[in-house]
Amino acid sequence: MAPATEIFLKKHADYQRAYAGARKGRVALMGWFCAGRPAEWRSATSGVRVGLTVPRALGKAVDRNRIKRRMRAAVRQQPVELLAAPMDVILHPRQAVLACPYDDLVQAVGKVLREATRGRG
């Protein structure tokens, strides 16, 4: 299980850097952007940092917050090996995240992290 505090992007500048140098992809439940972090961008966290963007088009605030809670929990369920690479990953969930079984969401997040890590090498 990954440590909960340092694995999420919080600053706007971090999101902008990730978008600027990003590869992108898509799985059934979400789209994603991934960018490696050079040594000068690395903070105390050496592994993956995950950002979430949930647009207003996905529903009212209650729905968007529920999507974010489910996504954060799914990221925390990932094995430490998937969270070891020094990169930033931004996830763009779709409306289906609200209704899908939690296990499917965990698998989709794992698939994104594996694809992002595989493409890095």
Give the pLDDT of residue 106.
Answer: 96
Report H helices in 21-101. Answer: 61-76
How confident is the model over 22-60, as pLDDT tens digits? 889 999 999 999 998 777 655 566 788 999 999 999 999
Q: Is residue 5 part of a domain?
A: no
Number of domains in the chain: 1
Q: What is the domain range of residue 21?
A: 12-120
Q: Is residue 7 part of a domain?
A: no
Cβ–Cβ under 8 Å, residues 108 and 77: no
Inside any domain, residue 2: no
pTM above the 0.95 mark?
A: no
Residues 6+ apart with CB under 8 A from 52: 8, 68, 71, 72, 90, 91, 93
CATH of the domain at 47: 3.30.230.10
Q: Would you say residue 115 lies in a domain?
A: yes
The answer to whether 47 and 5 are in contact (CB under 8 A) is no
* pLDDT tens-place string over residues 105-115: 999 999 999 99
- Grouping H, G, I as helix, E, B as strand and the rest as coil, residue 79 is coil
Asked whether the predicted pLDDT for residue 82 surpasses 80, the reply is yes
